[in-house]
Structure 1
C-alpha cells in the first residue's frame, strides 16, 4: 500500500484550493489498488458500449474541426428531451463542455445583482463558485429576498432532496426578481422513471414562456449528461433556454468548438440507446434499495437520505470521527467514497454511489473495522 492511498487529504491534491471548487472523483488517480469508485454519482451500469465505440471511432476525425452547429448530436438530444416536439424546441438547446461551461455562461450573462441557492441544506457548489468568481453578492437560501439569479439543483446533489413541478414553480416565482434568471439543474432528474419528462421543467414550454412574458423571469434548465451516461471524462452538458433568443445570446459568448468530436459522437449514439435507459431505471432503484437495507442492517445508527430513484445515498454517520474513518478505510481498500466535509462542510456525512450488490460488498468489507 502506498502512502497516497491512506493519506486523509489525498483526494484534494488534484485541486488548487486557492482557485478551484473541490469536487469528488479524483481519488482513483492516487490509488495503486483502485477497484471501484463510490465517490461519484455515475451510472452503476458503466459507460454504454455502443456510444463508447462511437467515441473511439470519432478519434479518427481528430484532424478536423468538430461541427460548429453541434450536429447531428444536438438534434439527437433534442429528440431525447422532446420526442414529439423536438423540432419546435431545438432552437432553445445548446450543448457545452460539461455543465460547468454552461453554468459559467449563464451566471456571467445574467442581469446584475445577487445570486441565491436552492432551499436545501447544501447543494452542488459550482453555481456558487461561478457567482463568486463574477463578484455577485451571495444570499443565504433562507433569505426572503428575491435574487437576480437563483439556482436550484433538483434533485439536489448531494442531499437527495427533490421538488416536484408544482413546488419547483412556487420556488422560482418566490425567489427570482422580475427580469431575473432562474437556473434549474436537472442533471439527476432523468433517473426519475420512464416518465421523467412529465416531471421535468423541460416539458413546461408554455409555463416558461408565460413566466417570461408576464414577469420577464428567464428559466434555464441545465443537464450534465456525464452521470447518467457515465462519461465524466469527455465532458458533456446542455442547457435549455427560455427562448431561442436567449440561446443565441449564450452562443455569442461561448468559446467556439467547445464540444469536441468525441463527445458529439458519443452523444449522438447514446441519446438513441433505449435499452441502456430501461436497464438504468430497472436496476438503479433495486440496487439503491439493497444498499440502504445493507447499511441499515450493518450500521443501524446511520441515517440514509435521498429519493429512491437516485444513483447515490447521502449518509449521516452522526459522528465526525466515524465519517473520517469510513472515508479513509474505503480509500485504503481501493473503493473511495465522497466525504461530506470538503466542499459541503458536512463532516458527519458521506456520499455513496449506487453500485451492484457484489461491488457493495467490497465497500462493506472495507468498513468492517467500524463495527469494533
Structure 2
C-alpha cells in the first residue's frame, strides 16, 4: 500500500520546516570590496557566496529547488533525489537531501574535480560519472526511472524556483548590503550563466524594483549561451545549438541552451577565453589572499570590461560580481601546473594579456554584445 495523502502532507510539512530552520540558522554572505588600480572613481565588490555551508552560490539554488519540489508534492519520504550537475549544485543538494534523510545521486561529467566528488560524498551523496556533458540529462532521467526517485532538473527549474521579488534572494541581499556604500545602486552586476537562474533572478529583481542597474553575463569559451543570446538579439533565436564537450570552467557555460536561461533578463554578454578566465582567477586570488574558482575569474573579466566602459564614459559608480566558490575545490585542476599543460592552455601569455587589460587595453578577441 502506498503512502496516504495525509501521511505525505505531514512529511512534506516537516521537511519544509527543517529547511526553514536551517535557513534561519544561517547568516548572510559578505560583500567584499576590491580596489582596481587606475579606476579610483569606480568601486568593485564581490558577493562572497563561498561562505555558505556548502561552499558555493549553489546553496541558494539547492534550497529553492528543494522547497519548490516539496511545495509541488514531487518528493517522497525515502525516495532518492537525482541531479545533473558539474559539481557545486550537487554538493548543495546532497546537503539538503541528507537534512531530509533522502538518498542523493549526482550525475556528473567524468572531468569533475576530485575535490567536488569528495564534497558530495562527504554530504552523504554518491556520484554517477559519465563521459559526455550533453548526456547528463538522459542519464539523470533514466536513473530517476530506475530508482523511483525524483530528477530535480536544475537546468529547467532554476529560474522559477527562486522567489525573485524578495525573500533574501541574492539580488535583494546585494542591494541591502550596498545601501551605505558611496554608490549604492550598481551600474552593473556581473554574473556567469550556468543554469541561468542567477542571471534571471538578478534581471527580474532590478526591473521589478525600478533600478537602472544592468546585468552582464560572462560566458566561458566552451558554451552555446553567448551565441544563443546573440541570436536572440538578432531576432532569430536558435535554441537548437549543441556542443559535444562541456565547459572547462566548472559550473558555468552549457553545451545546450537551457530552459532556465531567459535571455530577456540579461542586458549584455561577453564570451571569455578560458585562458583569460584563469588568468583573472589567479589575479583575484592574489588580490584577496585566498583561492577562488574559475567562474569567478570569468566574471572578473566581465567586471573589467564594464569598468573600462564606465571610465571611457567618464562615469563614477560601482560594479558588483559574485565570488562563486573557493579555489580549494580545484587544487587538482586550476591550481595544478600540469593541468594547463594537459589542456593546452598558455597561462603565461594569458596573464600577460590580463596585465595589459588592467592597464587599459581593450582586446579584440572578446566578443561582446549589449555593452554600448
Q: TM-score, normalised by structure 1?
A: 0.31
Structure with more relative contact order (C-alpha pairs < 8 Å, separation 6 or more): 1
Q: TM-score, normalised by structure 2?
A: 0.31
